[in-house]
């Protein structure tokens, strides 16, 4: 698979002129029967026009939102390895390292907005341990945390650092074992506790398919359309701030959640 596979579907317009040439050739040399077929095709297209227009508007709005979010992250000085994971990595395309290479290549070649992308800051990785987290309406057993049934979406794990320090990012390796929601919403919050409260201004969220929700996914090298993902996922949350606490909320509904790894990306010593 080449490094341009994230543009799948974007090359279709390049083939449209060839299709137009085939159409006009058929109209000129195809005879009366061919012209009748063309008229029938035109009638079908006219009937489908409202549906196609509605779908095109929806797809265009979705693409505009995704493009705008990508450009905002680039201008926020978020480095390529985080942008690649956030905007292009999915259960179908989980290869964040390849996507990172694509973005770096575009930056090196001075292509469009990619040339504004921030270089990776020098950092080192430090591990936190789930056993050290303060649990609120959650129970830890065999590396799996379970939220209480009456938690009203407030179950959480809070990691307290020995002191406030600059953190570039937090990287989670996690999996949902059981969920009340088909599409659980994982939330990560951070703060410098003497001067901040946990709030949505210093937070990030990720919505994925639950373990029993069929979805598109790459399984054993093949794309499956009704896969149930129960393996670990990786999520990198860009912070780039001085903080002393990190809070993880697995979902608003009761769930069982495995946090296999939590790492801090901190400035290199």
- pLDDT computed for residue 100 by the predictor: 87
- What's the pLDDT score for residue 140? 93
pLDDT along the chain (269 residues), means of 10: 49 66 71 71 83 88 89 91 87 78 89 90 96 94 83 86 97 95 96 94 95 88 87 94 97 93 95
pLDDT at 203 (0 to 100): 97
Encoded tokens for 67: 């493009």
From CA 23, how far away is CA 14, in angstroms rounded? 16
Domains of the chain with CATH codes: 1-120 (no CATH), 123-267 (2.60.120.260)
What whole-number distance in Å separates Cα of residue 154 and Cα of residue 235?
A: 21
Could you give the CA distance from residue 112 to residue 8 in angstroms, rounded to a whole number? Answer: 19
Q: What is the pLDDT of residue 166?
A: 98
Contacts of 86 (CB under 8 A, 6+ apart): 73, 78, 236, 238
pTM of the shown model: 0.79
pLDDT value at position 82? 92
Neighbouring residues of 228: CB distance < 8 A, sequence distance ≥ 6: 209, 211, 212, 213, 214, 215
- Spell out the residues 6+ positions from residue 181 whose beta carbon is closer than 8 angstroms to its own: 210, 251, 252, 253, 255
Tell me the three state secondary structure of residue 154.
coil
């Amino acid at each position: 698979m080449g490094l341009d596979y994230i543009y799948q579907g974007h090359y279709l317009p390049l083939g449209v002129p060839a299709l137009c040439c085939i159409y006009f050739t058929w109209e000129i040399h195809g005879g009366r029967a061919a012209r009748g077929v063309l008229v029938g095709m035109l009638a079908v297209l006219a009937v489908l026009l409202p549906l196609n227009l509605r779908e095109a508007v929806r797809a265009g709005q979705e693409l505009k939102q995704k493009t705008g979010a990508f450009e905002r992250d680039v201008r926020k000085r978020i480095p390529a390895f985080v942008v690649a994971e956030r905007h292009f990595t999915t259960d179908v395309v989980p290869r964040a390292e390849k996507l990172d290479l694509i973005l770096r290549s575009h930056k090196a070649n001075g292509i469009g907005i990619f040339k504004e992308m921030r270089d990776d800051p020098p950092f080192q990785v430090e591990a936190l341990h789930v056993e050290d987290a303060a649990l609120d309406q959650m129970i830890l057993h065999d590396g799996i945390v379970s939220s209480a049934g009456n938690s009203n979406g407030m179950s959480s794990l809070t990691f307290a650092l020995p002191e406030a320090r600059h953190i570039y990012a937090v990287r989670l390796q996690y999996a949902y074992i059981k969920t009340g929601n088909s599409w659980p919403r994982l939330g990560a919050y951070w703060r410098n506790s003497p001067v901040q409260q946990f709030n949505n201004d210093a937070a990030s969220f990720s919505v994925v398919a639950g373990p029993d929700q069929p979805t598109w996914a790459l399984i054993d090298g093949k794309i499956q359309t009704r896969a149930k993902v129960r393996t670990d996922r990786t999520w990198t949350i860009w912070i780039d701030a001085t903080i002393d606490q990190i809070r993880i909320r697995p979902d608003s509904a009761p769930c069982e959640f495995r946090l296999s790894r939590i790492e801090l990306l901190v400035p290199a010593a």
